[in-house]
Structure 1
């Protein structure tokens, strides 16, 4: 059984953090440390704010990682992502801030994030980051989010 005694949010009511800086990401020991496998989180309704206009921005985020010793606790990840709802930042900063926080927390064997942002000013912006080459022998599916095509 995985030790979850250090977790502060799982199984209890937890307020949504006001900002990504206030958000606490939690981790638990990898329950399968001898296996090389990919974990995927998809957030198809991610929101943040434009730092200049305050208008909402929307994205479909896909996060893949190959754990070493740690996995992210999913409730803390959900609250961390929700903390961007009132956070003003450019698409690039939001996407890379998420990647950086997870890399710092987990030290994964590999991590990739795709930020598929909906158009702002008529131009969609997609932001991609990965820590390097994925480990050999791990099945890592395509992210499956098509490029923005408008209505047609």
Structure 2
């Protein structure tokens, strides 16, 4: 039997947090269930980046849903990629959409959506939503479960 995990370099290794999103290496494995349409959800409730103007930290609760095609993203590499934003200066919209576009380009999923639920700074929460197309009708896609801002936690 073929080992579909043999090319992974980060999982099970001592891996440092990348210096930037551009330096981060995403890894993927073939989807052994590619004949089935199903939803995968990643939730990052402690995502951080920096305001590009002030250098102050920004915090978000990210929810990424995707219906895989031929590839699955390896979760440690995704965790390291998301962590690489910790010292990256960009507005909320840019961070959220950049993450989604990189995953779409890398995985070529059947469908992907991201919800970036940003905690307020200056009294205004900024939530950013994007998806690749119509929500698949033949796959259970649960609500992202993050209520409108009322003091998130």
User: Separation in 1 of the partners of 2:44 and 2:73?
Assistant: 15
Query: Does 2:135 align with 1:149?
Result: no
The 5-angstrom pairing of residues 68-83 of structure 1 reads 68-83=69-84
- Please give the per-residue CA displacement for 1:10-31, whole angstroms capped at 9, x wherever unaligned: 1111010011000001110002
Question: Match for residue 57 of structure 2?
Answer: 56
2:46 is aligned with 1:45: yes
Aligned ranges for residues 1-152 of structure 1 at < 5 Å? 3-150=4-151
Q: Quick check: 1:2–1:31 contact (8 Å CA) kept in 2?
A: no
CA shift at 1:136, angstroms? 2.2
Structure 2: stretches of 5+ with no match in the other structure: none
TM-score by length of 1: 0.96
Q: Work out the number of aligned pairs and report it.
A: 151
Asked if the contact 1:2–1:29 (Cα under 8 Å) also holds between the matched residues in 2, the reply is no
Partners of 1:129 and 1:66 in 2: CA distance: 14
Contact 1:3 1:29 (C-alpha < 8 Å) held by counterparts: yes
Structure 1: any 5+ residue segments left out of the alignment? none
d(CA) in 2 for partners of 1:145 and 1:31? 31
Root mean square deviation, CA, Å: 1.1
